[in-house]
Structure 1
């Protein structure tokens, strides 16, 4: 991988899911330190990160937060992302006190229904897409 993805936490998301793609503007605003990088699970950079962390290249069950060689998935990814966003969102990391099996059950329920509830895009979000503005383009992995 490269130094950009080694130095900063990377949020990998489903690039065809409207819920996932729609959350990006909010995440960009909440990441006041501008340290998070973003990539799609379907991109070459995303699949390389998945593989490096021991996940299959075809992993698409949840958002993944990657820090170095560690991949956080399902509810652990949400808890870690809350922590990385800092105050006040870091308070949400108290959810880690709830047993993982319960947190993951809720996460999987939303993940299983996300396409039906929020819809999908015809194509995966790409860095050169007209939908990607300058703020995201600079932080979106190729």
Structure 2
């Protein structure tokens, strides 16, 4: 298998990798599209070839996605820290939600994993991966959907 360089793929771009079949995760994607008015973030679905390579390069499962990934300034964030990094990058009052990064890991990880493990049951699952329309495709990295 050829070596995959995550930093060369993101090329100094901020990126969000999300589960395109998860209604909660797709809702987060839609939220970010609406509130990222400067189009700072590019997107990748976890099910896409690029998403799969990204998860493999980080040693994460490629079928049951336990976390979204948020890459800001070349740093990869997972779980609640990913949400916090995304919120800190938005304009307005949204960065206040980034304060959740200061919660102790012993508190935030169990809550995050409880929601992640039950997200399909609690929020639903799309029958197939999200397919963006032509206007939204420009916000995805090549090979990202």
The alignment's TM-score, normalised by the length of structure 1, stands at: 0.82
Distance in 2 separating the partners of 1:99 and 1:29: 30
Deviation at 1:56, TM superposition (A): 3.3
Structure 1 residues 90 and 49, CA gap change in structure 2 (3 angstroms): same
- Aligned equivalents of 2:89, 2:9: Cα separation in 1: 17
Secondary structure at 2:71 match in 1: strand
Q: Identify the residue that residue 55 of structure 1 maps to in structure 2.
A: 59
| CA-CA distance at 1:30 after TM superposition | 0.7
- Counterpart of 1:37 in 2: which secondary structure? strand
Runs of at least 5 residues in structure 2 that lack an aligned partner in the other structure = none
Q: 1:89 to 1:23 in 2, by over 3 A?
A: same
Count of paired positions: 136
- 1:137 is matched with 137
**2:83 matched to 1:99?**
no
What's the offset of the Cα at 1:42?
Answer: 1.5
Secondary structure of the structure 2 residue equivalent to 1:7: coil
Identify the match of residue 78 of structure 2 among 65, 73, 82: 73
Structure 1 segments unaligned to the other structure (5+ residues): none
Tell me the equivalent position of 1:90: 95
- Normalised by the size of structure 2, how large is the TM-score? 0.80
* Aligned residues: CA RMSD: 2.2
Cα offset for 1:15?
Answer: 1.3
- Pairwise mapping of residues 116-131 of structure 1 onto structure 2 (< 5 A)? 116-125=121-130, 129=131
Shift of 1:70: 3.1
> Of residues 20, 23, 31 in structure 2, which corresponds to 1:26?
31
